[in-house]
A and B are shown apart, each in its own frame.
Chain A
C-alpha cells in the first residue's frame, strides 16, 4: 500500500512540475500545430516548381494518394509528435544536468521508472494535444471520416507514442553519457521524417530503406492512421502495422530503460553522470 502511495506521490509531483513548466511557454506548441500545414504547402510548392501544374496528378499517379493535404497533415503531425518527444527529452535532460536538478532527483528516494513514466505521460498528453488540434480541421472537413475512425486513430497514436518514449529513454542515456548529442537527435529526427512516409508512401522507397523504415514506430503509426481514416476498418488487430507497434511497445521502452540503467550505474561509479 505504501509502495503505491509513494509512486502516486512521485508521479503526481513530476506531472505537475512538467505541466507548470510547459504552461509557462504558452507558444511552445503553437508552432507544432501549424507546421504540418506549412510543410504540406511547401511540399506542394516544391512539387509544382519541379513538375509544373500537373504535379498533384503525377504524385497521385505514382503514389496512389487521393487527398494530398490530409496525407501530409497526418504524416506531418505524427512527425511533430516524434520531434516534440525526442527533442524535448534531450533538452530537458541537458537542462537537468546544467541546473544540477538531476543530482537532487537522483539523491531522492524516488523511483526512476515512475519519474520517467510521469514525464512520458505529460509529453504524450502534449502530443495528443498537438495531434487533436492539427487534425481536427481534417476531421471536420473530410466528410468520409466518422467519429469512430477518428477515435481509433487516437488509440493508434496512444500505442505509437510508447515506442517513441522508448527511443527517448535511449536519448536520455546518450545525453548522460556524451552530454552534447543535439546533432544526433536532429539526425534521428531527419531520418524519421525521411523514412516514416511523412510526405510520400513508404512503398515508393527502395528495398533497404523500406526495411529500415520498418524499425521506426512512426512509420507504422502514420501508415495505420491513414489506413483507418481511409478504409474505415476499425478492428485494429487486422492490421499487421498494429502488431508491429504492439511488439515495439514491449521492446523499445524496455530496451531504452535497460540502456539508461546501465549508463546511470556506470555514471555513479565514474562520476561522469553529473558533469556537463
Chain B
C-alpha cells in the first residue's frame, strides 16, 4: 500500500535580475513534474546534487511550499487541499543544524514541539525520554542547545521528527556535515523506523548512504527525476560497464581527449585539484584486462605517472553521469 503518492509535482521560482528597480525576472524550474510513490515500511531516497530540487520537493510535501502544478497525497490527504491533515501525519527534519531555540535545553525544545503536535504533557514526557534514549542524548537533555555540537543537534532534530509518531517521516540531508559516528547512529535509527513500518523519505547527496539505506531511489537532476528504482536496478542500467579509477599527480588535457577517442571508453571524468591530485574515472563498455592495459599505456605515453589504479563496481554516481551526462560535482558548482 502506498502511503505517499506524488503526482506531477512542480515548483517554479521567479528570481529578479539586475538592480533593485529592474523588472527583469528569470523563471527557475526548481522542481519540474516529479512523480513517485512510497510504501509503508519503505525508505525512499531522493538523490541528487545541491540545487537539484530535493529540498523544494520535500518542502512541498510538508506543506511549506504550495506546488505550482500537480499534487501529492500523504496518508490519503492532499498537500494542496488538506495541508492541516497532512501536517498531522508527518514528522519533519529540514536541517540538522537549525530549527531549535538555542536558549532552551534539548528537552525543553522537544516539549515545546510536542505541544505544537498536540501531545498531552504526561505522554510527551515519556515519549521524549524514550526518544532521548534512542538518539543517545539523555545525558545532554538538560543542557542548553547552544552548547550542543553539530552531531548532537542532528540527533535532537531527529528525535523531534519522531515526536508525534507519524506514519511518514521526511528527512532533508539528515547526516549532512556529521562525523562518521553520529552519521552511523542516525542511519541505524532510520533502519529501525523501517522495521516499525514507517515510510521514510530522505534526501541526500551521499551516494553510499542512499545505497546503504534506501529500498528505492529517485535520481533527481535540475528538477526532474531521471531514474527511479532500487539501488541494484539503477546500477543494472549500466549493463556490463565497468569503471576504472586512476589517480595521478600530473594532468594533461590531451590525455582526456585521447582516452575519449577509444571505442571501448564510454565516459571520462576527472576530479580533484589540477595542481595536486587528479582522479580519473573512466567508464569502459566491458571489463577487460586489454582495456586496462591500453588505458595505462596512454598515461605512460603522455608522461603522466600513475599513483594507483583499480577497477571498481559502478556506483549510483556513474548511473547519474550516464543519465545526465554530468557529474554530481559539476551540478553542485552550477547550483
Contact = CB atoms under 8 A, between A and B. Distances in A.
Interface string B62-76: 111110100000000
Given A107-B62, A108-B87, A100 B94 contact: yes
B6 to A, nearest CB: 17
B115 A9 contact: yes
Interface string B90-114: 1010110011111110001001111
B99 to A, nearest CB: 4
A274 B118 contact: no
B287 to A, nearest CB: 46
A109 B13 contact: no
B120 interface: yes
B99 A17 contact: no
A109 B102 CA distance: 22
Contacts of B84: 109
Contacts, number: 101
Taking each of A17, A101, A109, A271, which has the highest tally of chain B beta carbons within 10 Å of its own beta carbon? A109
Contact of B117 (A12, A100, A108): A108
A206 B116 CA distance: 49
Nearest to B102: A99
A20 interface: yes
A247 interface: no
A10 B99 contact: no
Interface in A1-42: 5-6, 9-10, 12-14, 16-17, 20-21, 24-25
A115 B112 CA distance: 11
B150 interface: no
For chain A, give the interface size range: 20 to 34
B116 A105 contact: yes
B162 to A, nearest CB: 14
Contact of B101 (A9, A17, A115, A270): A17
B116 A20 contact: no
A237 interface: no
B64 A268 contact: yes
A262 interface: no
B115 A109 contact: no
A17 B118 contact: no
A79 to B, nearest CB: 27
For chain B, give the interface size range: 35 or more
Given A5-B118, A107-B64, A100 B99 contact: yes
B103 A16 contact: no
A169 B134 CA distance: 39
B183 interface: no
A103 interface: yes
B259 interface: no
B126 to A, nearest CB: 16
Interface string A42-55: 00000000000000
B14 interface: yes
Nearest to B98: A100
A14 B111 CA distance: 10
Contacts of A5: 118, 120
A21 B100 CA distance: 12
B270 interface: no
A6 B13 contact: no
A274 B103 CA distance: 21
A104 B113 contact: yes
Nearest to B90: A107
A20 B64 contact: no
Given A17-B112, A108-B113, 11 more contacts: A5-B118, A17-B101, A100-B99, A107-B63, A107-B87, A107-B90, A109-B84, A109-B87, A268-B63, A269-B65, A271-B13
Ordered nearest first, which 5 A-B pairs have the shortest CB separation?
A13-B115, A100-B98, A109-B87, A108-B116, A110-B116
